Amino acid sequence: DAMVIQNPRYQVTQFGKPVTLSCSQTLNHNVMYWYQQKSSQAPKLLFHYYDKDFNNEADTPDNFQSRRPNTSFCFLDIRSPGLGDAAMYLCATSLGREQYFGPGTRLTVT
């Protein structure tokens, strides 16, 4: 089945220790998104790629970076995680108007 895959589903990292979250898709969609969602809050868009064009949201901290080496894969790098970065990170893809979400990675910062 075509889908959006995120690994790992649960990630624990230490305060200040760099961490990378992964997303892959078999949908061949040209747009990929990373969202941060904290408990009982709306998903917040961090950035998105339109093909290889990177689009950063104005309020995304510099601590968050992303890479998209090819159509299928996209990575979220958190250079120095703080306690406030503990959240669910959602990857999504789209070809047009509808977005397809992966299962998310729940990040815990200790």
Partner 1 sequence: GQNIDQPTEMTATEGAIVQINCTYQTSGFNGLFWYQQHAGEAPTFLSYNVLDGLEEKGRFSSFLSRSKGYSYLLLKELQMKDSASYLCAVGGSTLGRLYFGRGTQLTVWP
Footprint of partner 1 (CB under 8 A): 4, 31, 33, 40-45, 48, 50, 88, 90, 94, 96-104, 106
CB of 89 to partner 1, least distance (A): 11
Type and span of the H or E element at 25: strand 19-25
CB of 79 to partner 1, least distance (A): 25
Does residue 29 contact residue 36 with C-beta atoms inside 8 Å?
Answer: no
| Residue 13 or 103 having the CB closest to partner 1 | 103
Beta bridge partners of 21: 76
CB of 43 to partner 1, least distance (A): 5
Does residue 15 contact residue 81 with C-beta atoms inside 8 Å?
Answer: yes
